[in-house]
Chain A
Amino acid sequence: QKEVEQDPGPLSVPEGAIVSLNCTYSNSAFQYFMWYRQYSRKGPELLMYTYSSGNKEDGRFTAQVDKSSKYISLFIRDSQPSDSATYLCASPRVGDNKLIFGAGTRLAVHP
């Protein structure tokens, strides 16, 4: 079983829609969770990180962690064409801190 699983999409939504991006993880030892945005042929850009369960909000973005079901989500409100990118979830493995990435979900927001 992969440690972090993510539906690769693509996901296509109209401008202004609420987008929900999701990941599941299998390792109960994961404690921190990050969301990165990656534009085509660019480096991953840190969007949000959370520790433990609950919600964290930053502008139009909300990250949610449900440790009981090992489920992490990123919500984007009022999506914009500039949000079109691949969204990567990741968690650092306890001990060595190497990031374990999901496959990434490709999002397209059309005007």
Chain B
Amino acid sequence: EPEVTQTPSHQVTQMGQEVILRCVPISNHLYFYWYRQILGQKVEFLVSFYNNEISEKSEIFDDQFSVERPDGSNFTLKIRSTKLEDSAMYFCASRGAVETQYFGPGTRLLVL
């Protein structure tokens, strides 16, 4: 069964460093998303991406964040200068024509 994959599973970084989180969505899906979940809190939307551009972003998704689909398979989230409060699980999701979104296993980011 096709699935969304994410790498790395864990990332530890120093405050101020750049991180890139990678995702491989389900191959025939056209809509891509990043969500995050701070420990003990709700899953919250960051950004959606369709047709090679951002279609919607939340107030969390400020200038320190960017997304890219560098080739036909990968979808990345970059945080330019990490802050302590960026520590969270980051989930990639994708969907096809139907509304259902399928999530990857997540990347646990810890900013020290």
Contacts and interface: CB of A to CB of B under 8 A. Distances in A.
A92 B108 CA distance: 24
B33 interface: yes
A104 B4 CA distance: 22
SS class of chain B's interface: helix, strand, loop or mixed?
A: strand
Interface residues of A, number: 23
A34 B101 CA distance: 9
B65 interface: no
Interface stretch (B13-21, B43-51, B66-74, B75-83): B43-51
Interface stretch (A17-25, A35-43, A53-61, A70-78): A35-43
A92 B42 CA distance: 15
A16 interface: no
Contact of B35 (A42, A49, A97, A99): A99
Interface of A: 32, 34, 36, 41-46, 49, 51, 88, 90, 92, 96-104
